[in-house]
Amino acid sequence: MQGESLTMKFIIEPLPWMHSTTIGIATRHGACHDNIAGLSSVLIPALSRGTRNHDEKNINLLLDGRGSNYYAFTYNDYSVLLIQCLPEEVERSISLLFEFIDMPLLESKVIASEKSKMIQHIASVLDHPFKRLLMYNLERSIFGDSHPYATPRIGFMDSIKDISREALVSCIESEFLVDPMGIIIGKVDATWSRLKELMEDKMDAITSVIRDSHPPPPPVQVPAMNQLVNEDPAVENAYLGMSVRIDPDHESYIYTRFLAAMMGESFGSRMFRRIRDELGLSYIASTVSINIGDHGALSNVMDVASDRVDEAIVALGDIFVDIASNGVGEEEFYLTKNHLLGSMDIMADSPFSLIPALVLSMYHGGPGTFKGMKKAIENVKRDGIHEWMEKIFKKQALSLSVVGNVDPSLVDQTWMKFGKEVQ
């Protein structure tokens, strides 16, 4: 089901086999919209730490204390606040969620502690080379250093220090609610329409500014075959991400999901088969799909022993070249399609997995419903995938990011050699 109120879209998904309900609010405000890097990541946890009606202790007793799970996160261009709870807790949880976005106290001591947590979290990410690749380097190599899409969700130590209470209050009051969506998923029986009305009423009563959209970001400008190497002799391994950027006009949430699944989301994927099973190069061999604004990207990421980095670059490159030149065989096409359809059923058992997929689908022009997404996957045609791949696989869109114990000149040499082979 999908409905719209004057100010709010909805994702309503009855999953009758569940005995919990998950309610939530999604907003199209994320890290790329922050005027200070990492602001949303400090704001989101601070929202649930005290409102005008409930202090932090009270909130924790009403949520965790009653067995509910609260989960909130910021992605590149959207944020979601969710509460999974037993049915008798739903109405109370809806009230709390709206208090979080409409009347947070944002006390100075809370902000100070969230900033301190974030600064130390950043230090731990920087001290973990694979997390460093994923959080700091991958999107910089894809979208360019200074583009908002490359802003790390957790910000930088210095930017976090610069965040003031005024900046957070200003964000929640006038920037944060953009194209907001209500979410009701799980044990949703005849009461769903009442829950929807309740959420609409709460949204109508909100005093903060509700925006339709943020201003568009500047165009992405990155050199062809961009590379970003972060040499770190203190670590044991090297961590690689080879990416293809998907530019406006070609961005397609369903096709991105399809190709990500085929390249590296299962034991039967190309990454797992080639990089891990056949070459024994890596333990982690998977594909990360990124959907931001009207852009997307697919990144094949892996770890590798430092003395095998050149082999890894060649193997990752071969996966891209093979797909671009030979396309997808019929068998692999149906294997991937069935995998995606089956995994949708699995996701439907776990609201915290299903909801981000539905929200992303909806924000990227997709159906935003469980059935709708399954249908969209069923409707994917092999020819359509081929045509799409021909558009996205081009030299200008390829990039490489490497973190770890590597010789930058070897990376450069291998990457440039690969570049000469790519059209």
Partner 1 sequence: MDEIRKRGAMNVNNSRLAGSRLAGGKGEVIVLKLGNGIPVFYNVVPDARTATIALGCKAGAFFEEGFGQKSNDGISHFLEHMFFKGTPELSTREVNEVFTRMGAVLNAYTSYDHTMYFSKVPRMHLSKAATTWGDLMMGIKLDPLEFESERKVVMQEEKLGRDDPMSQAGRRVHHLLFKGTTLEHDIIGSPESLGAITIDMMEAYIASRYNPTNTAIAISGGFMLDEMKSLLEDLFSREPAIPRKLSTSQDHGGINPNWKPGSTIEREPKIRPLCYLAASWAVQGDIEAMYYPMKLVDRLIDNGKNSLFYTDIVSKGICGNASFYYDTFQDIMKGTIIFAAEPSRVELVHETIMGTMKKAKDMPITGDLLERLKRETIGKRLLAFENSLNISTMLVRNKLCRDAMESPVECIASLDNLDVEILQSTRNAFLDGIECAIHVTGNLPPEWEPSNVFE
Ranges within 2-31 binding partner 1 (CB under 8 A): 16-20
Residues between 77 and 116 with contacts to partner 1, criterion CB under 8 A: 84, 86, 112-116
CA quadruple 276, 266, 232, 228: dihedral positive or negative? positive
Q: Binding of partner 1 at residue 282 (CB under 8 A)?
A: yes
Which lies closer to partner 1 via its Cβ, residue 56 or residue 247? 56
Residues between 326 and 385 with contacts to partner 1, criterion CB under 8 A: 335, 338-346, 348-350
Answer for which of 5, 71, 91, 117 binds partner 1 (CB under 8 A) is: 117
Q: Binding of partner 1 at residue 164 (CB under 8 A)?
A: no
Going from the C-alpha of 17 to that of each of 21, 63, 188, 345, 350, the distances in angstroms are 11, 23, 10, 12, 11
Q: Binding of partner 1 at residue 287 (CB under 8 A)?
A: no
Helices 351-363 and 330-347, packing angle to 10 deg:
120
Which lies closer to partner 1 via its Cβ, residue 189 or residue 249? 189
* Binding string, residues 249-278; x marks residues near partner 1 by CB under 8 A: -----------------xxxx--xx--xxx
Cβ-based neighbour number of residue 176 at 10 Å: 25
Segment contacting partner 1 by CB under 8 A, of 64-72, 158-166, 219-227, 287-295:
64-72
Structure tokens at 273: 């088969």
Q: Binding of partner 1 at residue 307 (CB under 8 A)?
A: no
Answer for which of 283, 365, 371, 421 binds partner 1 (CB under 8 A) is: 283
Answer for which of 119, 138, 240, 392 binds partner 1 (CB under 8 A) is: 119
3-class SS at 321? helix
| Phi-psi region at 80: left, alpha or beta (left = phi > 0; alpha = psi -120 to 50) | beta
| DSSP-assigned letters across all residues of 217-282 | PPPP---TTEEEEEE-TTSSEEEEEEEEEE-TTT--HHHHHHHHHHHHSSTTSHIIIIIIIIT---
Q: Binding of partner 1 at residue 303 (CB under 8 A)?
A: yes
Which H or E run contains 374? helix 370-378
Which lies closer to partner 1 via its Cβ, residue 143 or residue 239? 239
Q: Binding of partner 1 at residue 128 (CB under 8 A)?
A: yes
Q: How many of the chain's residues bind partner 1 (CB under 8 A)?
A: 74
**DSSP code at position 333:** H
Q: Binding of partner 1 at residue 236 (CB under 8 A)?
A: yes
Answer for which of 127, 158, 197, 421 binds partner 1 (CB under 8 A) is: 127
Q: Binding of partner 1 at residue 325 (CB under 8 A)?
A: no
- Angle CA 271–295–30, to nearest 5: 100
In the complex, minimum distance from the CB of residue 128 to partner 1, in angstroms, rounded to a whole number: 6
Q: Binding of partner 1 at residue 123 (CB under 8 A)?
A: yes
In the complex, minimum distance from the CB of residue 277 to partner 1, in angstroms, rounded to a whole number: 6
In the complex, minimum distance from the CB of residue 117 to partner 1, in angstroms, rounded to a whole number: 5
In the complex, minimum distance from the CB of residue 268 to partner 1, in angstroms, rounded to a whole number: 3
Which lies closer to partner 1 via its Cβ, residue 50 or residue 182? 50
